[in-house]
């Protein structure tokens, strides 16, 4: 049997130990084996989640125990939200202005289109103004600065009521309180007639006439004053009666000359 000789290099090659120490070198793979970096440990994940939950619940408990801190936190969150809104509005405003400017520029640059076949509308003709007649206008002479005078209606007097008839006879309003009319003595009725007659004859419109001049506790006291609205030649007055420290003001009455208006009718 014949032996053959072969030549081998005695030098160490750099490829002799290729993949001996490299864990990622090509080698045998097993079913289910992960390719890549190892997954994080499950316990570390649970620890991180627990810390987050603890911080959230701890912060909430601290806010509930300290109302001032809760108000401060709410104020900070509100301020941050408003600042964010302002920033968004500031960013959106230039874009809106630019878009509006672009639309205006485009509409201004575009000339109005006209249909050459469409006839132009006739211009409106101004209507002739109606002639003003002088007869329809009131003349200056017809205007009067004096207010319209409305005479007072005659007071209603019950012909079967002796107190009302007596009050009307002396110039008092017959619709005064029956209690007051019953308390007036014959001398009080005479004083009332004197006060009204003297005031109409001698007292100016801005004055007040009082009678009797010397007040007595057992007698009634009468004050006569005038009000506006009477017709020329008439005077409209009101009478205030004080009896037993109680004051009553009657409704207005009118006299023309020396007789009441209703008596002259």
Domain ranges of the chain: 42-95, 162-264
Pick from 24-33, 123-132, 256-265: least confident: 256-265
Which pLDDT score, from 0 to 100, does residue 229 have? 85
3-class SS of residue 160: coil
CB atoms within 10 A of CB 237: 22
Of the candidate ranges 26-30, 198-202, 260-264, the one whose mean pLDDT is the lowest = 260-264
pLDDT at 124 over 60: no
Greatest mean pLDDT range, 25-29, 52-56, 165-169: 165-169
Residues 6 or more apart whose CB falls under 8 angstroms from that of 225 comprise 207, 208, 209, 237, 238, 240
pLDDT value of residue 53? 85
Distance of alpha carbon 259 from alpha carbon 169, whole angstroms:
10
pLDDT tens digits, one per residue of 58-117: 777 776 777 776 677 777 778 887 887 777 777 666 666 667 767 766 665 555 555 555
Above pLDDT 90, what percent of the chain?
32
Mean pLDDT in residue range 238-253: 94
């Amino acid at each position: 049997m014949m032996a053959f000789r072969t030549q081998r290099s005695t030098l160490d090659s750099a490829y002799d130990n290729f993949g001996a120490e490299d864990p990622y070198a090509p080698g045998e793979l097993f079913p289910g084996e992960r390719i890549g970096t190892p997954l994080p440990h499950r316990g570390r994940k649970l620890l991180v989640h627990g810390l987050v939950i603890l911080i959230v619940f701890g912060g909430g408990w601290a806010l509930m125990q300290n109302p001032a801190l809760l108000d401060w936190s709410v104020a900070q969150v509100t301020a941050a939200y408003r600042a964010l809104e302002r920033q968004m509005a500031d960013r959106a405003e230039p874009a809106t202005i630019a878009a509006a400017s672009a639309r205006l520029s485009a509409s201004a640059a575009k000339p109005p289109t006209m249909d050459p076949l469409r006839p132009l509308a006739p211009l409106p003709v101004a209507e002739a103004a109606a002639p003003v007649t002088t007869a329809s206008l009131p003349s200056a002479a017809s205007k009067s600065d004096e207010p319209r005078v409305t005479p007072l209606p005659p007071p209603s007097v019950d012909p079967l009521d002796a107190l009302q008839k007596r009050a009307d006879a002396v110039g008092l309003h017959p619709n005064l309180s029956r209690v007051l009319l019953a308390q007036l003595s014959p001398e009080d009725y005479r004083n009332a007639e004197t006060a009204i007659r003297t005031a109409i004859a001698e007292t100016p419109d801005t004055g007040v006439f009082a009678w009797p001049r010397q007040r007595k506790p057992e007698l009634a006291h009468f004050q006569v004053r005038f009000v506006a609205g009477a017709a020329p030649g008439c005077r409209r007055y009101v009478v205030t009666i004080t009896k037993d420290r109680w004051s009553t003001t009657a409704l207005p009455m009118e006299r023309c000359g020396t007789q009441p208006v209703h008596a002259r009718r």
